[in-house]
C-alpha cells in the first residue's frame, strides 16, 4: 500500500506526484486541506509533527519532506541516474535541493501564496528573494540545459513546480528565457505530469 498525503496546489506535493508518475508507481491520495487546517489534526501530526505535507506512506514506511522523499523514491525504485552515488554529483544535486527549499520556496512559492492564498507577508522581502531565485536559475540555465548535471536529476524536479507556476504570483518569466526553455524541457520528460493551476 502506498499513500500520499497531499494538497493539490502545493508545489512541494507536486514534486512527489511528479516523481511517482515518472516511476509509474500507483498510490492512493489522502487530501489534507491546508486551508481548513487539517495539517494540525492530531492524527496527521502522528505522521508528521512538522504540520506539513507532503507525507508518503510507502508500505508502512512514513516519509516526510519532499526532497527526502524524492531521494528515497529515486534510489528505491531504480532511478539512480536522478541521484547518483558519485560524491561530486550528489553535492551538485544537494545544492539545488537546498536552493529549492530556501530561495525557491521563500521567494517563488511565497510570492504565489500571497496571491492565491492571500498569505499576509512582506511583499518587498519575498519579491527580493524571488528575484535572487530567478536570477540564479537563469544564470545556470544560460550555460547548461539542466541544473545539477548534464542530464535531468532530482534538482530539476525539485525546482520545477514553483518556478513553473510563478506567474500565479504575478511575477513574469518574460525576462528569463533560459528558465522558460528549461521549464519546457522538464515538461518533456517521460512521465511528466503538470502541476494543477490555481483558480
Ligand X SMILES: N[C@@H](CCC(=O)N[C@@H](CS)C(=O)NCC(=O)O)C(=O)O
To which H or E segment does residue 87 belong? helix 87-99
Residue 101 CB, nearest distance to ligand X (Å)?
5
Residue among 65 and 168 whose Cβ is closer to ligand X: 65
- Examine residue 101 and tell whether it contacts ligand X (CB under 6 A): yes
**75: burial class by Cβ within 10 Å (0-12, 13-18, 19+)?**
middle
Q: What are phi and psi of 189, to 5 degrees?
A: -70, 145
Query: Which helix H or strand E contains 5, and what residues bound it?
Result: strand 2-6
Cell of 100: 529549492
Among 2, 3, 51, 92, binds ligand X (CB under 6 A): 51
Write out the binding residues for ligand X, residues 58-77 only, by CB under 6 A: 65-67
Gyration radius of the chain's alpha carbons = 16
Alpha carbon distance 154, 185 (integer Å): 14
Instruction: Centre a 10 Å sphere on the Cβ of residue 143 and count the other Cβ atoms it contains.
Output: 7
Q: Which of 5, 6, 10, 160 binds ligand X (CB under 6 A)?
A: 10
Grid coordinates representing 2 are 502506498
With CB under 6 A as the contact rule, which of the stretches 46-54, 78-86, 145-153, 175-183 interacts with ligand X?
46-54
CB closer to ligand X, 118 vs 174:
118
179 part of the interface to ligand X, by CB under 6 A: no
Closest approach of Cβ 34 to ligand X, in Å? 5
In the complex, which residues of this chain contact ligand X (CB under 6 A)? 7, 10, 12, 34, 39, 51-54, 65-67, 101
Amino acid at each position: 500500500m502506498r499513500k500520499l498525503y497531499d494538497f493539490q496546489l502545493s508545489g512541494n506535493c507536486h514534486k512527489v506526484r511528479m516523481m511517482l508518475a515518472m516511476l509509474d508507481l500507483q498510490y492512493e491520495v489522502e487530501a489534507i486541506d491546508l486551508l481548513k487546517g487539517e495539517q494540525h489534526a492530531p492524527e496527521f501530526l502522528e505522521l508528521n509533527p512538522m504540520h506539513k505535507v507532503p507525507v508518503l506512506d510507502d508500505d508502512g514506511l512514513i516519509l516526510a519532506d519532499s526532497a527526502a522523499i524524492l531521494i528515497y523514491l529515486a534510489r528505491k525504485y531504480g532511478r539512480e541516474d536522478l541521484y547518483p552515488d558519485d560524491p561530486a554529483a550528489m553535492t551538485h544535486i544537494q545544492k539545488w535541493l537546498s536552493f529549492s527549499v530556501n530561495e525557491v520556496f521563500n521567494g517563488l512559492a511565497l510570492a504565489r501564496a500571497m496571491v492565491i492564498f492571500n498569505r499576509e507577508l512582506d511583499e518587498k522581502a519575498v519579491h527580493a528573494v524571488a528575484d535572487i531565485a530567478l536570477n540564479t536559475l537563469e544564470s545556470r540555465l544560460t550555460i547548461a540545459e539542466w541544473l545539477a548535471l548534464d542530464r535531468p536529476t532530482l534538482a530539476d524536479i525539485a525546482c520545477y513546480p514553483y518556478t513553473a507556476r510563478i506567474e500565479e504570483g504575478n511575477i513574469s518569466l518574460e525576462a528569463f528565457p533560459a528558465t522558460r526553455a528549461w521549464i519546457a524541457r522538464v515538461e518533456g520528460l517521460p512521465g511528466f505530469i503538470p502541476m494543477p493551476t490555481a483558480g
